[in-house]
A and B are shown apart, each in its own frame.
Chain A
Amino acid sequence: KAGVTQTPRYLIKTRGQQVTLSCSPISGHRSVSWYQQTPGQGLQFLFEYFSETQRNKGNFPGRFSGRQFSNSRSEMNVSTLELGDSALYLCASSRNRAQDSPLHFGNGTRLTVT
């Protein structure tokens, strides 16, 4: 059974640009959650999508957005990149809502903003 797949693995962008990250969940999983991981802040919750609807949102500015498609694949977009957005972005899928079933994480996308 394939795990959670995140693409790309590495990304280098310049301040002011925008970026789109992709996450393919485990087959049959309907929930996708996104986290930002930095050495200083640890894992910070961005948002959760379930059945194409955002069900929960963390305390991030509106520059961070996401969506989920009918096949449960999800994308995350960050506009007007800032240096502080450099981080490992992790996606996790679960069969049902994130609070009701175990999370399975992908290996992340390492974003560097210069």
Chain B
Amino acid sequence: TQLLEQSPQFLSIQEGENLTVYCNSSSVFSSLQWYRQEPGEGPVLLVTVVTGGEVKKLKRLTFQFGDARKDSSLHITAAQPGDTGLYLCAGEAHEYGNKLVFGAGTILRVKS
């Protein structure tokens, strides 16, 4: 059982479409991070959110941390082929010994 549930598992869309990826848990996290991983490479940190209700924007990417700090979402506007990759959420919770736990990820494919 994943401590962080990500949905959907796979997403294939056309260039220009919008999409949202979700990261949910029954646990409260002190912070949540989003990473993107491309084939043959390690994950790269996109953003860290630490305050319940926090919204952060990174160009066409919008990240939100739930008010109760149990969930997060990543919204991409006007997706481009360069957004293709594996999106991972990761969080720290005291009940997990402050280890960084990862969701299984969402594979995004943006077709041109």
Task: Give A residues with C-beta under 8 Å from B.
Answer: 4, 33, 35, 41-45, 48, 56, 58, 90, 92, 98-99, 102-108
Contacts and interface: CB of A to CB of B under 8 A. Distances in A.
B110 interface: no
21 contacts: A33-B100, A42-B2, A42-B88, A42-B102, A42-B105, A43-B88, A43-B90, A45-B99, A45-B100, A45-B101, A56-B98, A90-B43, A92-B42, A99-B30, A99-B98, A102-B45, A102-B48, A105-B42, A105-B43, A107-B42, A108-B42
A41 B42 CA distance: 16
Contacts, number: 51
A7 B48 CA distance: 28
A107 B38 CA distance: 10
Contacts of B88: 42-43
Q: Could you tell me the dominant secondary structure of chain A's interface residues? A: strand
Given A4-B42, A90-B42, A43 B102 contact: yes
Contact of B104 (A4, A42, A56, A106): A42
Interface in B39-93: 40-45, 48, 88, 90, 92
Contacts of B104: 41-42
Contacts of A108: 41-42
A62 to B, nearest CB: 18
Which of B30, B43, B44, B104: most chain A CB closer than 10 A?
B43
Nearest to A41: B104
Nearest to B44: A105
Interface in B1-52: 2, 30, 33, 35, 40-45, 48
B102 A107 contact: no
B10 to A, nearest CB: 12
Given A42-B104, A42-B105, A103 B98 contact: no
Contacts of A58: 99
Which of B30, B41, B42, B97: most chain A CB closer than 10 A?
B42
A103 B41 contact: no
Contacts of B98: 56, 99
B14 to A, nearest CB: 26
